[in-house]
Amino acid sequence: MKKFKYHLVLGRSLNLENIARDAQANKCPRHVMWQVSQHLGGAAIHRPGKEPIQPIDRVCAQIIGRPEHWALARALSSQLNSEDIVFCTGEDIGIPVATLCGSNRERPKMVVFIHSLDRSRGWMSLQLFPVSNQIDLFVTNTRTQVDFLRRYLRLPATRICLLLEQTDTKFFTPGPVSLGKSRRIIASVGLEYRDYRTLAAVTQDLDVDVKISGFSQDAQTLAKSFPKTLPENMTCRFYEWPELVQLYRDADLVVISLFDNNATAGATTLMEAMSCCRPVIVSQTKGLIDYLETPGAVTSVKPGDPTQLRQAIISLLQNPEKAEAQAQCGYELILNQHNSEQYAQRLATRLKEEAEKGCVQCGSGSGHSFSSGCE
């Protein structure tokens, strides 16, 4: 039997070895790609940023990815062949790698994680690059992307894997509140598609502190997400990893107020908060439908509806037993279905199964269904 070599291609220049050491010291959560690498017997890890950038890389980056993504893809295209299995962590790096490696006759097997391919840059890349013939398996974390891939690329179910998100339940854990906590706290984390204007409007007259962990140099994003002036009871700053865990533990509620979107914006915060056994209120967006199906695990509200959001907040604040029951339900859901160990094992198993399948262009191989059991 042919022995395949596994490769994990990151979209960001992360040192997974250093992250693993810091995680061992409980300074940060474990990175799931490091866990996948270990399940695969030490897969090679590739990061952008070391390869020289050529003018053509900057041109291609106008369509998808960044220049360093295309530079890395070009380097890999001269190294990889049909004995390699490649997993790319996003379309920003996956489409460049698939495009340049796809020109090789003995191309590697390609598996790419899709986050939001239905955005404008994603649409353009699909029109210009023949990825449907160069990517063997599309993995995504939301049904909206599954539907888009099947509709736009006309892919069969066997070439799409729905793999729901995860969190490190060994880092994000329940724990005691901070000494000296004087008022109830509503916490919220993140910036993508966040609607902090609505959250500010419905909480500014409540006897609570609203603490937001978020930081960005993108003034346009901040202007859309935040009110011009923060209410006196609302603060926003960057929290280091240990501080973030304590913020969740201190929170009487975690509120994830979102603009409607097709991506999984808010999923990471949702998982982390539930892993710390805190009650969560979240906007029921199209992209989060798969994460809000368990009755009693979260309270969901319509995006942009201040009346519904305020009622949900007051209801849980005034009914602590109800809030704690919800928190416990969400906590058990995360431990049983969304922990990083299960996620890493599932993804590694799927990559091993992909090694047994034939190329999408020639149809040779055993024909195992890769999407079976991904959910």
- Total domains present in the chain: 2
Specify the amino acid at residue 61. A
pLDDT tens, N- to C-terminus, the chain (375 residues): 567 899 999 999 999 999 999 999 999 999 999 999 999 999 999 999 999 999 999 999 999 999 999 999 999 999 999 999 999 999 999 999 999 998 777 899 999 999 999 888 888 898 889 888 899 999 999 999 999 999 999 999 999 999 999 999 999 999 999 998 999 999 999 999 999 999 999 999 999 999 999 876 565 667 789 999 999 999 999 999 999 999 999 999 999 999 999 889 999 999 999 999 999 999 999 999 999 999 999 999 999 999 999 999 999 999 999 999 999 999 999 999 999 999 999 999 999 998 887 545 444 443 333 333 454
176 falls within a domain: no
| Domain identity same for 84 and 122 | yes
- Between strands 253-256 and 234-237, the pairing is unpaired
| Domain identity same for 325 and 349 | no
Kindly compute the dihedral angle of the four CA atoms of residues 77, 56, 96, 221, in this order, to the nearest 10 degrees: 150
Predicted structure pTM score? 0.91
Contact 118, 124 (CB under 8 A): no
Which pLDDT value is given to residue 96?
Answer: 97
Three-class SS of residue 270?
helix
Gyration radius from the chain CA atoms = 22
362 falls within a domain: no
| Domain identity same for 257 and 190 | yes
Which pLDDT value is given to residue 224?
Answer: 84
Q: What are the CA-CA distances from residue 310 to residues 121, 190, 259, 261, 283 (Å)?
A: 36, 20, 16, 21, 12
Which pLDDT value is given to residue 368?
Answer: 31
| Domain identity same for 329 and 194 | yes
Distance of alpha carbon 365 from the chain centroid:
31
Distance of alpha carbon 256 from the chain centroid:
15
371 falls within a domain: no
Which pLDDT value is given to residue 366?
Answer: 34
| Domain identity same for 214 and 160 | no
Vertex 251, ends 246 and 254: CA angle to 5°?
Answer: 115
| Domain identity same for 332 and 345 | no
131 falls within a domain: yes
| Domain identity same for 194 and 324 | yes
The domain spanning residue 100 has which CATH number?
Answer: 3.40.50.2000
| Domain identity same for 271 and 318 | yes
| Domain identity same for 159 and 213 | no
175 falls within a domain: no
360 falls within a domain: no
306 falls within a domain: yes
| Domain identity same for 287 and 240 | yes
Q: Which domain holds residue 263?
A: 184-337
111 falls within a domain: yes
| Domain identity same for 20 and 57 | yes
| Domain identity same for 232 and 327 | yes
